[in-house]
Amino acid sequence: MNVQKLSQKEITDLLQGKDDKWLFEEASKIKGNIFGKDVYIRGVVEFSNFCKEDCFYCGLRRSNGCLVRYRLAPLDIMRCAEVADSLKIKTLVLQSGEDYFYSKEQIAGLIQRVKSRYDIVVTLSIGERRNDELKFWFDVGAERYLLKVETFDEKLYEQLRPGKRLSDRIGKVMYLKELGYETGSGIIVGLPGQTVDSISRDIIKLSELNLEMIACGPFIPHPETPLGGYPPGDPLTTIRVVAILRILNPSANIPSTSALSSFGEEWRRAGLKAGANVVMPSLTPEKVKDLYSIYPGKNSGYDEIFDAVEGIKRLIREAGFIPSESKGYSKRRLDEKCS
């Protein structure tokens, strides 16, 4: 197998389990060469579950009238940053639904407060905001942005994200890169209507974007959505996606996602062994964490944040790796600067 350029046919075969032994060994070798045994930890603060969008797969969609909505006050968010700092977590991911309640200035204020008080990198994951906002937040100190394309299949994308256009989403991802963010994107694996062929095309398209971060988790049906009755994505296919992405994007930061771990913590370990080098525990306060129900069971695995983070560190060690206390800047970026 040619590691540099897997053909679409080879990717499709690998996705179907044609050569798991080779795939996982190769991905793990590549990861080891670049990251050693380090696994980066990113703390996620889910600060609002309000969303103006209506994605068919997501429990936060605006049409879900059963969900109690919340917004964290800036003080609560700062407490999460304090928790991150005390746990030596050096990246705070501020995530939410697409919630325009938080203005450009308010988000900027948050970024500045976190950065002025702690030695922490801020990642934003708050949807498709306006270009002037994205630029402003970068200028005030946000360094990373996560915006998953979800699927590059145009028809499927437009069915599952009503009123939205795939080209706009990809355009935003490219704009984030242009601004200088360490940019992350990814897909959901196992969406209804997705095929092995479309996943292999997604892998190629994601890899062509030269992303600093690539996040792919399995689809988990949420009963209060139009896709509630469909089967979940397959965790084994998901870790094959992770491994293929590692091979095609050696120095990208790739998480073993929380969605994967909802099939059992052994799947998070499997993700790490298949080439993932990042974990993203939730630091969302206990009083609201269950309401951030993108999919059922999200954030249900712990009662206490400290226990959750300790549990994740234990899991990293059990998988044979070391929880890193570094900021985990993109090695892809460093490689490009040095070349």
Distance in Å, CB of 98 to ligand SAH, minimum: 5
Burial 100-127 (b: 16+ CB within 10 A, else e): eebebeebbebbeebbeebebbbbbbbb
Nearer to ligand SF4 by Cβ, of 27 and 206: the residue is 206
Which residues would be at the binding site for ligand SF4 (CB under 6 A)?
Answer: 51, 53, 55, 58, 60-61, 97-98, 127, 294
Asked if 215 and 257 count as a contact pair (C-beta separation under 8 A), the reply is yes
Distance in Å, CB of 12 to ligand SAH, minimum: 22
Q: Tell me which of ligand SF4, ligand SAH, none is bound by residue 61, counting a contact when its beta carbon lies within the kind-specific cut-off of 5 to 8 angstroms.
A: ligand SF4
Nearer to ligand SF4 by Cβ, of 53 and 133: the residue is 53
Nearer to ligand SAH by Cβ, of 35 and 157: the residue is 157
Q: Determine what percent of the chain falls in helix, strand and coil, rounding each to the nearest 5.
A: 45, 15, 45
- Distance, in Å, from the CA atom of 251 to the CA atom of 41, rounded to the nearest integer, reads 16
What count of other Cβ atoms lies within 10 Å of the Cβ of residue 28?
A: 18
Distance in Å, CB of 74 to ligand SAH, minimum: 19
Distance in Å, CB of 144 to ligand SAH, minimum: 13
Distance in Å, CB of 161 to ligand SF4, minimum: 7
Q: Tell me which of ligand SF4, ligand SAH, none is bound by residue 92, counting a contact when its beta carbon lies within the kind-specific cut-off of 5 to 8 angstroms.
A: none
- Distance, in Å, from the CA atom of 248 to the CA atom of 311, rounded to the nearest integer, reads 30
Which amino acid is it at 99? D
The helix or strand, by DSSP H or E, that contains position 218, with its residue range, turns out to be strand 217-218
Which residues would be at the binding site for ligand SAH (CB under 6 A)?
Answer: 57-58, 95, 97-98, 125, 127, 147-148, 150, 188, 217, 219-220, 222, 259, 294-295
